Chains A and B, each alone.
Chain A
Protein backbone atom coordinates (compact mmCIF):
# COMPACT_ATOMS: atom_id res chain seq x y z
CA UNK A 1 0.00 0.00 0.00
CA UNK A 2 2.99 2.30 -0.39
CA UNK A 3 2.24 3.21 -3.96
CA UNK A 4 1.54 6.88 -4.56
CA UNK A 5 -0.36 6.57 -7.80
CA UNK A 6 -3.83 7.92 -7.30
CA UNK A 7 -6.57 5.37 -7.71
CA UNK A 8 -10.12 6.14 -8.73
CA UNK A 9 -11.23 5.41 -5.16
CA UNK A 10 -9.00 8.19 -3.85
CA UNK A 11 -10.71 10.93 -5.77
CA UNK A 12 -14.13 10.02 -4.54
CA UNK A 13 -12.94 10.06 -0.95
CA UNK A 14 -11.16 13.39 -1.24
CA UNK A 15 -13.95 15.20 -2.98
CA UNK A 16 -15.18 17.86 -0.59
CA UNK A 17 -18.75 17.07 0.17
CA UNK A 18 -21.27 18.44 2.60
CA UNK A 19 -20.07 17.87 6.18
CA UNK A 20 -21.70 14.78 7.53
CA UNK A 21 -23.69 14.84 10.70
CA UNK A 22 -21.24 12.60 12.58
CA UNK A 23 -18.31 14.89 11.83
CA UNK A 24 -20.13 17.84 13.27
CA UNK A 25 -21.08 16.10 16.47
CA UNK A 26 -17.48 15.07 17.22
CA UNK A 27 -16.27 17.21 20.15
CA UNK A 28 -12.91 18.96 20.05
CA UNK A 29 -10.21 16.76 21.50
CA UNK A 30 -8.78 19.11 24.04
CA UNK A 31 -6.05 17.73 26.31
CA UNK A 32 -4.80 15.61 23.45
CA UNK A 33 -1.49 13.85 23.59
CA UNK A 34 -0.14 16.22 26.25
CA UNK A 35 -1.25 13.75 28.90
CA UNK A 36 1.21 11.20 27.53
CA UNK A 37 4.16 13.52 28.03
CA UNK A 38 5.02 12.67 31.68
CA UNK A 39 5.08 8.95 30.93
CA UNK A 40 7.14 9.59 27.83
CA UNK A 41 9.67 11.74 29.67
CA UNK A 42 9.96 9.13 32.41
CA UNK A 43 10.53 6.44 29.83
CA UNK A 44 13.05 8.53 27.87
CA UNK A 45 15.09 9.42 30.96
CA UNK A 46 15.27 5.98 32.56
CA UNK A 47 15.22 3.66 29.55
CA UNK A 48 16.07 5.38 26.30
CA UNK A 49 18.80 7.44 27.98
CA UNK A 50 20.71 4.39 29.25
CA UNK A 51 20.09 2.68 25.91
CA UNK A 52 21.78 5.54 24.05
CA UNK A 53 24.54 5.64 26.65
CA UNK A 54 25.41 2.02 25.84
CA UNK A 55 26.44 3.14 22.36
CA UNK A 56 28.38 6.14 23.67
CA UNK A 57 30.34 4.22 26.31
CA UNK A 58 31.06 1.50 23.75
CA UNK A 59 33.10 4.05 21.80
CA UNK A 60 35.15 5.07 24.85
CA UNK A 61 38.29 3.72 26.38
CA UNK A 62 37.31 3.55 30.05
CA UNK A 63 39.45 1.15 32.03
CA UNK A 64 37.74 1.65 35.42
CA UNK A 65 35.14 3.70 37.25
CA UNK A 66 37.59 6.39 38.44
CA UNK A 67 40.03 6.17 35.54
CA UNK A 68 40.42 8.87 32.88
CA UNK A 69 38.21 8.38 29.85
CA UNK A 70 39.42 8.71 26.28
CA UNK A 71 37.82 8.24 22.89
CA UNK A 72 38.46 4.80 21.44
CA UNK A 73 36.32 4.78 18.32
CA UNK A 74 36.17 1.22 17.10
CA UNK A 75 39.16 0.21 19.26
CA UNK A 76 36.93 -1.64 21.70
CA UNK A 77 35.44 -3.70 18.90
CA UNK A 78 38.93 -4.87 17.97
CA UNK A 79 39.77 -5.73 21.60
CA UNK A 80 36.53 -7.67 21.97
CA UNK A 81 37.02 -9.56 18.71
CA UNK A 82 40.57 -10.53 19.69
CA UNK A 83 39.47 -11.88 23.07
CA UNK A 84 39.01 -15.68 23.20
CA UNK A 85 36.68 -15.28 26.20
CA UNK A 86 34.28 -13.29 23.99
CA UNK A 87 34.16 -16.12 21.47
CA UNK A 88 33.56 -18.61 24.28
CA UNK A 89 30.65 -16.46 25.37
CA UNK A 90 29.31 -16.31 21.80
CA UNK A 91 29.53 -20.09 21.56
CA UNK A 92 27.85 -20.63 24.94
CA UNK A 93 25.05 -18.21 24.10
CA UNK A 94 24.52 -19.88 20.73
CA UNK A 95 24.39 -23.32 22.37
CA UNK A 96 22.02 -22.02 25.02
CA UNK A 97 19.63 -20.57 22.44
CA UNK A 98 19.90 -23.47 20.02
CA UNK A 99 19.13 -26.04 22.73
CA UNK A 100 16.74 -24.22 25.06
CA UNK A 101 14.47 -22.44 22.55
CA UNK A 102 13.35 -25.39 20.38
CA UNK A 103 12.89 -27.72 23.37
CA UNK A 104 10.96 -25.10 25.26
CA UNK A 105 8.65 -24.05 22.42
CA UNK A 106 7.90 -27.57 21.12
CA UNK A 107 7.32 -29.09 24.57
CA UNK A 108 5.33 -26.09 25.73
CA UNK A 109 3.13 -26.21 22.63
CA UNK A 110 2.36 -29.90 23.11
CA UNK A 111 1.78 -29.40 26.81
CA UNK A 112 -0.45 -26.42 26.09
CA UNK A 113 -2.44 -28.50 23.58
CA UNK A 114 -2.80 -31.25 26.20
CA UNK A 115 -4.13 -28.82 28.80
CA UNK A 116 -6.47 -27.18 26.27
CA UNK A 117 -8.18 -30.56 25.64
CA UNK A 118 -9.27 -30.45 29.31
CA UNK A 119 -8.11 -33.94 30.34
CA UNK A 120 -8.89 -35.13 33.87
CA UNK A 121 -6.98 -33.03 36.38
CA UNK A 122 -6.28 -30.22 33.94
CA UNK A 123 -7.07 -27.57 36.54
CA UNK A 124 -4.41 -28.96 38.88
CA UNK A 125 -1.93 -29.16 36.03
CA UNK A 126 -2.66 -25.60 34.99
CA UNK A 127 -2.09 -24.39 38.56
CA UNK A 128 1.20 -26.26 38.83
CA UNK A 129 2.54 -25.26 35.42
CA UNK A 130 2.46 -21.69 36.47
CA UNK A 131 4.63 -22.08 39.53
CA UNK A 132 8.01 -21.37 37.89
CA UNK A 133 6.56 -18.18 36.44
CA UNK A 134 5.96 -16.86 39.95
CA UNK A 135 9.31 -17.65 41.48
CA UNK A 136 11.95 -14.92 41.44
CA UNK A 137 15.33 -15.51 39.84
CA UNK A 138 17.21 -15.79 43.15
CA UNK A 139 14.64 -18.28 44.46
CA UNK A 140 14.90 -20.37 41.29
CA UNK A 141 18.66 -20.28 41.61
CA UNK A 142 18.37 -21.43 45.24
CA UNK A 143 16.22 -24.36 44.12
CA UNK A 144 18.84 -25.41 41.60
CA UNK A 145 21.66 -24.76 44.02
CA UNK A 146 20.04 -27.07 46.55
CA UNK A 147 19.42 -29.68 43.87
CA UNK A 148 22.79 -29.64 42.15
CA UNK A 149 25.44 -28.85 44.76
CA UNK A 150 27.78 -31.75 45.63
CA UNK A 151 25.72 -32.81 48.68
CA UNK A 152 22.40 -31.79 47.14
CA UNK A 153 19.24 -33.45 45.95
CA UNK A 154 20.43 -34.87 42.60
CA UNK A 155 23.49 -36.59 44.00
CA UNK A 156 21.52 -37.87 46.98
CA UNK A 157 18.94 -39.40 44.66
CA UNK A 158 21.63 -41.01 42.49
CA UNK A 159 23.32 -42.54 45.51
CA UNK A 160 20.11 -43.87 46.99
CA UNK A 161 19.36 -45.83 43.79
CA UNK A 162 22.89 -47.23 43.63
CA UNK A 163 24.25 -44.97 40.91
CA UNK A 164 26.77 -43.26 43.19
CA UNK A 165 29.42 -43.44 40.46
CA UNK A 166 27.43 -40.96 38.36
CA UNK A 167 27.47 -38.20 40.97
CA UNK A 168 29.21 -35.01 40.01
CA UNK A 169 29.78 -31.47 41.23
CA UNK A 170 27.29 -30.43 38.57
CA UNK A 171 27.69 -26.67 38.83
CA UNK A 172 31.46 -26.73 39.26
CA UNK A 173 32.34 -29.08 36.45
CA UNK A 174 33.24 -27.50 33.07
CA UNK A 175 31.36 -30.15 31.14
CA UNK A 176 28.04 -29.76 32.98
CA UNK A 177 27.88 -26.14 34.18
CA UNK A 178 26.33 -24.77 30.97
CA UNK A 179 23.99 -27.75 30.70
CA UNK A 180 22.71 -27.03 34.23
CA UNK A 181 21.93 -23.44 33.30
CA UNK A 182 20.08 -24.56 30.17
CA UNK A 183 18.17 -27.13 32.22
CA UNK A 184 17.09 -24.37 34.59
CA UNK A 185 15.81 -22.26 31.69
CA UNK A 186 13.91 -25.18 30.20
CA UNK A 187 12.52 -26.37 33.55
CA UNK A 188 11.16 -22.94 34.35
CA UNK A 189 10.19 -21.96 30.80
CA UNK A 190 8.10 -24.92 29.61
CA UNK A 191 5.32 -24.67 32.17
CA UNK A 192 4.92 -20.95 31.94
CA UNK A 193 4.94 -20.96 28.13
CA UNK A 194 2.49 -23.86 28.07
CA UNK A 195 -0.02 -21.78 30.04
CA UNK A 196 0.25 -19.08 27.38
CA UNK A 197 -0.31 -21.60 24.57
CA UNK A 198 -3.19 -23.28 26.41
CA UNK A 199 -4.95 -19.95 26.76
CA UNK A 200 -4.58 -19.16 23.07
CA UNK A 201 -5.60 -22.69 22.01
CA UNK A 202 -8.66 -22.38 24.22
CA UNK A 203 -10.02 -19.68 21.91
CA UNK A 204 -9.69 -21.86 18.80
CA UNK A 205 -13.22 -23.06 17.96
CA UNK A 206 -13.87 -26.68 18.98
CA UNK A 207 -15.53 -27.42 15.62
CA UNK A 208 -12.15 -27.15 13.92
CA UNK A 209 -10.66 -30.07 15.84
CA UNK A 210 -13.88 -32.07 15.70
CA UNK A 211 -14.10 -31.73 11.94
CA UNK A 212 -10.54 -32.95 11.58
CA UNK A 213 -11.27 -35.94 13.82
CA UNK A 214 -14.34 -36.84 11.77
CA UNK A 215 -12.09 -36.88 8.76
CA UNK A 216 -9.99 -39.46 10.58
CA UNK A 217 -7.11 -37.32 11.80
CA UNK A 218 -5.59 -38.41 15.11
CA UNK A 219 -4.67 -36.01 17.87
CA UNK A 220 -1.10 -35.86 16.63
CA UNK A 221 -2.17 -34.59 13.21
CA UNK A 222 -4.85 -32.31 14.64
CA UNK A 223 -2.26 -30.78 16.92
CA UNK A 224 0.37 -30.05 14.31
CA UNK A 225 -1.59 -29.72 11.05
CA UNK A 226 -4.81 -28.03 12.20
CA UNK A 227 -4.23 -26.10 15.43
CA UNK A 228 -0.60 -25.14 14.93
CA UNK A 229 -1.18 -23.18 11.70
CA UNK A 230 -4.09 -21.35 13.33
CA UNK A 231 -2.03 -19.99 16.20
CA UNK A 232 1.20 -19.79 14.23
CA UNK A 233 1.65 -16.05 14.67
CA UNK A 234 1.08 -16.38 18.41
CA UNK A 235 3.77 -19.07 18.58
CA UNK A 236 5.99 -16.53 16.84
CA UNK A 237 5.28 -13.86 19.47
CA UNK A 238 6.00 -16.26 22.33
CA UNK A 239 9.17 -17.48 20.62
CA UNK A 240 10.35 -13.89 20.26
CA UNK A 241 9.71 -13.25 23.95
CA UNK A 242 11.54 -16.39 25.07
CA UNK A 243 14.39 -15.53 22.71
CA UNK A 244 14.78 -12.08 24.25
CA UNK A 245 14.45 -13.38 27.81
CA UNK A 246 17.07 -16.05 27.21
CA UNK A 247 19.44 -13.72 25.39
CA UNK A 248 19.16 -10.73 27.73
CA UNK A 249 18.01 -12.09 31.06
CA UNK A 250 18.96 -15.64 31.89
CA UNK A 251 22.50 -14.57 32.73
CA UNK A 252 21.18 -13.75 36.19
CA UNK A 253 21.29 -17.49 36.78
CA UNK A 254 24.92 -17.48 35.68
CA UNK A 255 25.66 -14.76 38.21
CA UNK A 256 23.93 -16.63 41.03
CA UNK A 257 25.02 -20.18 40.25
CA UNK A 258 28.36 -20.42 38.44
CA UNK A 259 29.79 -16.89 38.04
CA UNK A 260 30.58 -17.86 34.47
CA UNK A 261 32.98 -20.57 35.52
CA UNK A 262 34.76 -22.84 35.75
CA UNK A 263 37.05 -20.93 33.40
CA UNK A 264 34.71 -19.43 30.86
CA UNK A 265 32.71 -22.60 30.32
CA UNK A 266 29.40 -21.04 31.34
CA UNK A 267 30.03 -17.38 30.48
CA UNK A 268 27.24 -16.10 28.28
CA UNK A 269 27.22 -12.80 26.38
CA UNK A 270 24.94 -11.03 28.82
CA UNK A 271 26.95 -12.25 31.79
CA UNK A 272 30.11 -10.99 30.07
CA UNK A 273 28.54 -7.51 29.97
CA UNK A 274 27.99 -7.64 33.72
CA UNK A 275 31.32 -9.22 34.53
CA UNK A 276 33.34 -6.69 32.50
CA UNK A 277 31.45 -3.73 33.96
CA UNK A 278 31.16 -4.61 37.63
CA UNK A 279 33.95 -7.12 38.27
CA UNK A 280 36.71 -6.45 35.72
CA UNK A 281 35.82 -2.71 35.48
CA UNK A 282 36.53 -2.55 31.74
CA UNK A 283 33.58 -0.37 30.83
CA UNK A 284 34.25 0.20 27.14
CA UNK A 285 34.57 -3.55 26.60
CA UNK A 286 31.42 -4.24 28.59
CA UNK A 287 29.25 -1.81 26.66
CA UNK A 288 30.68 -2.93 23.31
CA UNK A 289 29.39 -6.40 24.10
CA UNK A 290 26.14 -4.68 25.10
CA UNK A 291 25.85 -3.17 21.62
CA UNK A 292 26.57 -6.57 20.07
CA UNK A 293 23.88 -8.05 22.31
CA UNK A 294 21.37 -5.42 21.20
CA UNK A 295 22.15 -6.09 17.54
CA UNK A 296 21.87 -9.85 18.09
CA UNK A 297 18.48 -9.27 19.71
CA UNK A 298 17.30 -7.15 16.79
CA UNK A 299 18.49 -9.59 14.13
CA UNK A 300 17.03 -12.57 16.01
CA UNK A 301 13.72 -10.79 16.44
CA UNK A 302 13.41 -9.99 12.76
CA UNK A 303 14.43 -13.54 11.79
CA UNK A 304 11.88 -15.15 14.09
CA UNK A 305 9.21 -12.75 12.89
CA UNK A 306 9.93 -13.71 9.29
CA UNK A 307 9.96 -17.41 10.07
CA UNK A 308 6.54 -17.28 11.74
CA UNK A 309 4.86 -14.89 9.35
CA UNK A 310 1.27 -15.92 8.69
CA UNK A 311 1.29 -17.52 5.26
CA UNK A 312 -2.10 -18.76 4.33
Chain B
Protein backbone atom coordinates (compact mmCIF):
# COMPACT_ATOMS: atom_id res chain seq x y z
CA UNK B 1 0.00 0.00 0.00
CA UNK B 2 1.31 3.45 -0.91
CA UNK B 3 1.84 5.97 1.84
CA UNK B 4 1.15 9.42 0.44
CA UNK B 5 2.01 12.91 1.62
CA UNK B 6 -1.09 12.93 3.78
CA UNK B 7 0.72 10.57 6.10
CA UNK B 8 2.97 13.36 7.33
CA UNK B 9 0.85 14.08 10.44
CA UNK B 10 0.82 10.38 11.24
CA UNK B 11 4.60 10.14 10.93
CA UNK B 12 5.01 13.14 13.21
CA UNK B 13 2.58 11.82 15.84
CA UNK B 14 4.07 8.35 15.91
CA UNK B 15 7.64 9.57 16.18
CA UNK B 16 6.70 12.04 18.93
CA UNK B 17 5.26 9.14 20.90
CA UNK B 18 8.47 7.22 20.25
CA UNK B 19 10.40 10.19 21.63
CA UNK B 20 8.16 10.16 24.70
CA UNK B 21 9.18 6.55 25.19
CA UNK B 22 12.89 7.13 24.67
CA UNK B 23 13.41 10.37 26.56
CA UNK B 24 12.72 8.98 30.04
CA UNK B 25 14.95 6.03 29.25
CA UNK B 26 17.74 8.22 27.95
CA UNK B 27 17.34 10.42 31.03
CA UNK B 28 17.64 7.31 33.19
CA UNK B 29 20.67 5.94 31.45
CA UNK B 30 22.43 9.32 31.41
CA UNK B 31 21.54 10.10 35.03
CA UNK B 32 22.93 6.80 36.22
CA UNK B 33 26.40 8.21 35.50
CA UNK B 34 25.84 11.68 37.01
CA UNK B 35 25.64 13.32 40.41
CA UNK B 36 22.48 14.96 41.69
CA UNK B 37 23.85 18.45 40.91
CA UNK B 38 24.71 17.53 37.35
CA UNK B 39 21.26 16.00 36.84
CA UNK B 40 19.50 19.19 37.92
CA UNK B 41 21.84 21.54 36.06
CA UNK B 42 21.97 19.66 32.74
CA UNK B 43 19.25 17.01 32.71
CA UNK B 44 19.76 16.10 29.05
CA UNK B 45 23.50 16.48 28.70
CA UNK B 46 25.60 13.41 28.09
CA UNK B 47 27.39 12.29 31.25
CA UNK B 48 30.92 13.70 31.54
CA UNK B 49 32.41 10.51 32.87
CA UNK B 50 31.35 6.90 32.82
CA UNK B 51 32.25 5.91 36.37
CA UNK B 52 30.27 3.19 38.07
CA UNK B 53 30.06 5.03 41.42
CA UNK B 54 26.27 5.26 41.40
CA UNK B 55 25.91 1.60 40.53
CA UNK B 56 28.24 0.66 43.37
CA UNK B 57 26.28 2.83 45.83
CA UNK B 58 23.01 1.33 44.65
CA UNK B 59 24.48 -2.12 44.98
CA UNK B 60 25.80 -1.52 48.49
CA UNK B 61 23.03 0.55 50.07
CA UNK B 62 20.11 -1.58 48.86
CA UNK B 63 21.93 -4.93 48.76
CA UNK B 64 21.01 -5.22 45.10
CA UNK B 65 23.52 -7.99 44.46
CA UNK B 66 21.77 -10.32 46.85
CA UNK B 67 18.40 -9.17 45.52
CA UNK B 68 19.43 -10.10 41.97
CA UNK B 69 20.43 -13.57 43.19
CA UNK B 70 17.08 -13.93 44.97
CA UNK B 71 15.13 -12.80 41.93
CA UNK B 72 17.05 -15.17 39.67
CA UNK B 73 16.50 -18.06 42.06
CA UNK B 74 12.76 -17.43 42.38
CA UNK B 75 12.29 -16.86 38.65
CA UNK B 76 14.21 -19.95 37.50
CA UNK B 77 12.72 -22.35 40.04
CA UNK B 78 9.19 -21.05 39.41
CA UNK B 79 9.69 -21.44 35.65
CA UNK B 80 10.83 -25.05 36.05
CA UNK B 81 7.88 -25.85 38.29
CA UNK B 82 5.46 -24.13 35.89
CA UNK B 83 6.58 -26.28 32.98
CA UNK B 84 6.62 -29.39 35.15
CA UNK B 85 2.97 -28.85 36.00
CA UNK B 86 1.64 -27.28 32.82
CA UNK B 87 3.15 -29.69 30.27
CA UNK B 88 1.50 -32.91 31.55
CA UNK B 89 -1.73 -31.00 32.18
CA UNK B 90 -1.87 -29.54 28.68
CA UNK B 91 -0.93 -32.95 27.24
CA UNK B 92 -3.78 -34.61 29.08
CA UNK B 93 -6.32 -31.93 28.19
CA UNK B 94 -5.31 -31.76 24.52
CA UNK B 95 -5.60 -35.51 23.83
CA UNK B 96 -8.43 -36.39 26.15
CA UNK B 97 -11.77 -37.12 24.53
CA UNK B 98 -13.72 -37.28 27.79
CA UNK B 99 -16.21 -34.77 29.09
CA UNK B 100 -14.02 -33.71 32.00
CA UNK B 101 -11.31 -32.08 29.92
CA UNK B 102 -13.34 -29.15 28.51
CA UNK B 103 -14.65 -28.42 32.01
CA UNK B 104 -11.11 -28.38 33.40
CA UNK B 105 -10.00 -26.07 30.61
CA UNK B 106 -12.83 -23.66 31.50
CA UNK B 107 -11.83 -23.75 35.16
CA UNK B 108 -8.27 -22.85 34.25
CA UNK B 109 -9.26 -19.95 32.03
CA UNK B 110 -11.43 -18.48 34.82
CA UNK B 111 -8.17 -17.62 36.56
CA UNK B 112 -8.02 -14.38 34.59
CA UNK B 113 -10.87 -13.03 36.68
CA UNK B 114 -9.11 -13.16 40.04
CA UNK B 115 -8.56 -9.61 41.29
CA UNK B 116 -4.91 -9.47 42.31
CA UNK B 117 -5.19 -6.91 45.05
CA UNK B 118 -8.12 -8.64 46.71
CA UNK B 119 -6.58 -12.12 46.59
CA UNK B 120 -3.44 -10.77 48.22
CA UNK B 121 -4.73 -10.96 51.77
CA UNK B 122 -6.03 -14.57 51.57
CA UNK B 123 -2.72 -15.56 49.95
CA UNK B 124 -0.93 -13.92 52.83
CA UNK B 125 -3.05 -16.00 55.24
CA UNK B 126 -2.15 -19.12 53.28
CA UNK B 127 1.54 -18.26 53.53
CA UNK B 128 1.19 -17.75 57.28
CA UNK B 129 -0.75 -21.00 57.70
CA UNK B 130 1.85 -23.05 55.83
CA UNK B 131 4.66 -21.50 57.86
CA UNK B 132 6.25 -20.15 54.68
CA UNK B 133 5.57 -16.48 55.36
CA UNK B 134 8.60 -14.25 54.68
CA UNK B 135 10.30 -16.88 52.52
CA UNK B 136 11.20 -17.10 48.87
CA UNK B 137 9.98 -20.70 48.95
CA UNK B 138 6.36 -19.61 49.08
CA UNK B 139 6.81 -17.42 46.01
CA UNK B 140 8.43 -20.32 44.14
CA UNK B 141 5.37 -22.43 44.94
CA UNK B 142 2.84 -19.66 44.40
CA UNK B 143 3.97 -18.07 41.12
CA UNK B 144 3.47 -21.23 38.99
CA UNK B 145 -0.16 -21.35 40.13
CA UNK B 146 -0.76 -17.81 38.88
CA UNK B 147 0.87 -18.75 35.58
CA UNK B 148 -1.16 -21.93 35.18
CA UNK B 149 -4.22 -20.48 33.39
CA UNK B 150 -2.32 -18.84 30.54
CA UNK B 151 0.36 -21.53 30.29
CA UNK B 152 -2.12 -24.40 30.11
CA UNK B 153 -4.37 -22.60 27.63
CA UNK B 154 -1.46 -21.78 25.31
CA UNK B 155 0.14 -25.22 25.51
CA UNK B 156 -3.18 -26.98 24.87
CA UNK B 157 -3.60 -24.93 21.67
CA UNK B 158 -0.14 -25.92 20.49
CA UNK B 159 -0.57 -29.60 21.38
CA UNK B 160 -3.89 -29.83 19.53
CA UNK B 161 -2.07 -29.10 16.28
CA UNK B 162 -0.01 -32.31 16.61
CA UNK B 163 -1.51 -35.01 14.39
CA UNK B 164 -2.94 -38.04 16.20
CA UNK B 165 -1.04 -40.36 13.87
CA UNK B 166 2.24 -39.33 15.51
CA UNK B 167 1.09 -40.68 18.83
CA UNK B 168 -0.41 -43.80 17.27
CA UNK B 169 2.85 -44.61 15.57
CA UNK B 170 4.73 -44.23 18.82
CA UNK B 171 2.19 -46.45 20.58
CA UNK B 172 2.73 -49.16 17.96
CA UNK B 173 6.38 -49.14 18.92
CA UNK B 174 5.31 -49.72 22.52
CA UNK B 175 5.79 -46.23 23.93
CA UNK B 176 4.25 -45.45 27.30
CA UNK B 177 2.21 -42.32 27.97
CA UNK B 178 5.23 -40.54 29.43
CA UNK B 179 7.39 -41.58 26.50
CA UNK B 180 4.79 -40.15 24.11
CA UNK B 181 4.84 -36.88 26.05
CA UNK B 182 8.65 -36.76 26.18
CA UNK B 183 9.55 -37.94 22.69
CA UNK B 184 6.61 -36.78 20.60
CA UNK B 185 4.76 -33.88 22.19
CA UNK B 186 7.53 -31.92 23.90
CA UNK B 187 9.89 -31.78 20.89
CA UNK B 188 7.03 -30.75 18.61
CA UNK B 189 5.76 -28.11 21.01
CA UNK B 190 9.04 -26.23 21.39
CA UNK B 191 7.61 -22.95 19.99
CA UNK B 192 4.74 -23.18 22.50
CA UNK B 193 7.11 -23.96 25.35
CA UNK B 194 9.30 -21.00 24.39
CA UNK B 195 6.22 -18.77 24.36
CA UNK B 196 5.20 -19.88 27.83
CA UNK B 197 8.74 -19.53 29.16
CA UNK B 198 9.18 -15.99 27.84
CA UNK B 199 5.78 -14.77 29.04
CA UNK B 200 6.31 -16.18 32.49
CA UNK B 201 9.90 -14.98 32.68
CA UNK B 202 8.61 -11.44 32.20
CA UNK B 203 5.87 -11.73 34.83
CA UNK B 204 7.98 -13.60 37.39
CA UNK B 205 10.98 -11.30 37.13
CA UNK B 206 8.79 -8.18 37.27
CA UNK B 207 6.45 -9.38 40.03
CA UNK B 208 6.22 -6.75 42.72
CA UNK B 209 3.11 -6.74 44.90
CA UNK B 210 3.09 -10.33 46.15
CA UNK B 211 6.85 -10.31 46.65
CA UNK B 212 6.50 -7.16 48.71
CA UNK B 213 3.90 -8.58 51.08
CA UNK B 214 4.91 -12.25 51.17
CA UNK B 215 8.71 -12.08 51.12
CA UNK B 216 8.79 -8.79 52.92
CA UNK B 217 11.60 -6.33 53.48
CA UNK B 218 14.28 -8.76 54.75
CA UNK B 219 17.34 -8.02 52.56
CA UNK B 220 18.40 -11.68 52.71
CA UNK B 221 15.22 -12.84 50.95
CA UNK B 222 13.74 -9.94 48.99
CA UNK B 223 13.75 -9.63 45.20
CA UNK B 224 15.09 -6.74 43.10
CA UNK B 225 11.66 -5.30 42.46
CA UNK B 226 11.09 -4.95 46.21
CA UNK B 227 14.60 -3.64 46.84
CA UNK B 228 14.36 -1.02 44.11
CA UNK B 229 11.78 1.37 45.62
CA UNK B 230 13.65 1.34 48.95
CA UNK B 231 16.48 3.22 47.22
CA UNK B 232 14.21 6.25 47.19
CA UNK B 233 14.20 6.56 50.96
CA UNK B 234 17.64 5.09 51.75
CA UNK B 235 19.48 7.58 49.61
CA UNK B 236 17.24 10.58 50.34
CA UNK B 237 16.35 10.64 46.66
CA UNK B 238 19.77 10.66 45.09
CA UNK B 239 18.52 10.46 41.50
CA UNK B 240 21.85 9.18 40.23
CA UNK B 241 21.74 6.16 42.52
CA UNK B 242 18.00 5.67 42.00
CA UNK B 243 18.33 5.55 38.23
CA UNK B 244 21.43 3.36 38.40
CA UNK B 245 19.49 0.85 40.50
CA UNK B 246 16.56 0.88 38.10
CA UNK B 247 18.85 0.35 35.12
CA UNK B 248 20.34 -2.67 36.88
CA UNK B 249 16.96 -4.38 37.28
CA UNK B 250 16.19 -3.82 33.61
CA UNK B 251 19.36 -5.43 32.29
CA UNK B 252 18.23 -9.10 32.28
CA UNK B 253 14.91 -8.34 30.60
CA UNK B 254 16.66 -6.07 28.14
CA UNK B 255 19.20 -8.67 27.13
CA UNK B 256 16.49 -11.30 26.60
CA UNK B 257 14.34 -8.85 24.63
CA UNK B 258 17.10 -7.67 22.33
CA UNK B 259 18.29 -11.20 21.58
CA UNK B 260 14.84 -12.75 21.20
CA UNK B 261 12.95 -9.70 19.95
CA UNK B 262 10.79 -11.45 17.34
CA UNK B 263 10.14 -14.43 19.56
CA UNK B 264 9.19 -12.21 22.50
CA UNK B 265 6.67 -10.22 20.49
CA UNK B 266 5.15 -13.42 19.11
CA UNK B 267 4.95 -14.78 22.63
CA UNK B 268 3.03 -11.80 23.94
CA UNK B 269 0.78 -11.63 20.93
CA UNK B 270 -0.20 -15.27 21.13
CA UNK B 271 -0.61 -14.83 24.88
CA UNK B 272 -3.19 -12.14 24.31
CA UNK B 273 -4.98 -14.07 21.59
CA UNK B 274 -5.37 -17.18 23.67
CA UNK B 275 -6.75 -15.26 26.63
Can you list 11 A-B contacts with CB-CB less than 8 angstroms, sorted by A residue number?
A: A36-B92, A42-B144, A54-B115, A54-B122, A110-B10, A136-B249, A187-B21, A199-B266, A213-B2, A249-B116, A252-B209
- Say whether B242 contacts A146, CB under 8 Å: yes
Least Cβ–Cβ distance between B164 and chain A, in angstroms: 8
Taking CB atoms and an 8 Å cut-off, the chain B residues in 1-36 that contact chain A are 1-3, 6-7, 10-11, 14-15, 17-18, 20-22, 24-25, 27-28, 31
Q: A27-B168, A128-B22 are in contact. Are A271 and B117 (CB under 8 A)?
A: yes
- Say whether B85 contacts A274, CB under 8 Å: no
A99 at the interface (CB under 8 A from B): no
Chain A residues with Cβ below 8 Å from B120 are 273-274, 277
Chain A residues with Cβ below 8 Å from B215 are none
Chain A residues with Cβ below 8 Å from B104 are 33, 36, 40
User: When chains A and B are docked, how far (Å) is the Cα of A34 from the Cα of B93?
Assistant: 9
User: When chains A and B are docked, how far (Å) is the Cα of A125 from the Cα of B10?
Assistant: 13
Residue of A146, A213, A237 touching B239 (CB-CB under 8 A): A146
- Say whether A301 contacts B92, CB under 8 Å: no
- Say whether A143 contacts B118, CB under 8 Å: no
Stretch of B48-56, B146-154, B187-195 contacting A (4+ beta carbons < 8 Å): B146-154
- Say whether B146 contacts A219, CB under 8 Å: no
Least Cβ–Cβ distance between A128 and chain B, in angstroms: 5
Chain A residues with Cβ below 8 Å from B237 are 149
B68 at the interface (CB under 8 A from A): no
Chain A residues with Cβ below 8 Å from B253 are 134-136
Interface residues of A (CB under 8 A from B): 25-27, 29-36, 38-40, 42-43, 45-51, 53-54, 57, 110-111, 114, 117, 119, 124-139, 141-143, 145-147, 149, 151, 153, 156-157, 187, 190-192, 195-196, 199-200, 206, 209-210, 213, 218-219, 234, 237-238, 241, 244, 247-249, 251-252, 255-256, 270-271, 273-274, 277-278, 283, 286-287, 289-291, 293-294, 297-298, 301
Q: A47-B145, A130-B257 are in contact. Are A142 and B118 (CB under 8 A)?
A: no
Q: A39-B85, A43-B111, A134-B250 are in contact. Are A270 and B1 (CB under 8 A)?
A: no
Chain A residues with Cβ below 8 Å from B43 are 153, 156-157
Q: A142-B243, A143-B28, A251-B117 are in contact. Are A36 and B93 (CB under 8 A)?
A: yes
B65 at the interface (CB under 8 A from A): no
Chain A residues with Cβ below 8 Å from B119 are 47, 50-51, 54, 290
Chain A residues with Cβ below 8 Å from B152 are 39
B91 at the interface (CB under 8 A from A): yes
Least Cβ–Cβ distance between A265 and chain B, in angstroms: 19
- Say whether B275 contacts A138, CB under 8 Å: no
Chain A residues with Cβ below 8 Å from B111 are 43, 47
- Say whether A114 contacts B273, CB under 8 Å: no
B80 at the interface (CB under 8 A from A): no
Least Cβ–Cβ distance between B61 and chain A, in angstroms: 15
- The 8 lowest CB-CB distance pairs between A and B, nearest first, are A290-B118, A46-B145, A50-B122, A39-B89, A136-B206, A53-B122, A31-B177, A35-B92
Chain A residues with Cβ below 8 Å from B21 are 128-129, 131-132, 187, 191
Residue of A119, A206, A238, A271 touching B272 (CB-CB under 8 A): A238
Least Cβ–Cβ distance between B64 and chain A, in angstroms: 13
Q: A141-B229, A244-B112 are in contact. Are A131 and B25 (CB under 8 A)?
A: yes
- Say whether A237 contacts B208, CB under 8 Å: no
